[in-house]
Amino acid sequence: MNNCVETARLRGALLAVRDSKDVGRTPLRFSAAAWTAFVDGLGPDGARPRHLS
- What band does 53 get if pLDDT is binned at 50, 70 and 90? very low
Report how far residue 11's alpha carbon sits from residue 20's, in angstroms, rounded to the nearest whole number.
21
Q: Under a CB-based contact definition with an 8 Å cutoff, are residues 9 and 27 in contact?
A: no
Q: What is the pLDDT of residue 45?
A: 63
pTM of this prediction?
0.64
- Kindly report, residue by residue over 1-18, the tens digit of the pLDDT: 566 888 889 998 899 999
- Kindly report, residue by residue over 17-38, the tens digit of the pLDDT: 998 888 899 999 999 889 888 8
Q: Is the dihedral of CA 40, 53, 34, 41 positive or negative?
A: positive
- What band does 52 get if pLDDT is binned at 50, 70 and 90? very low
Domain range annotation of the chain: 5-40
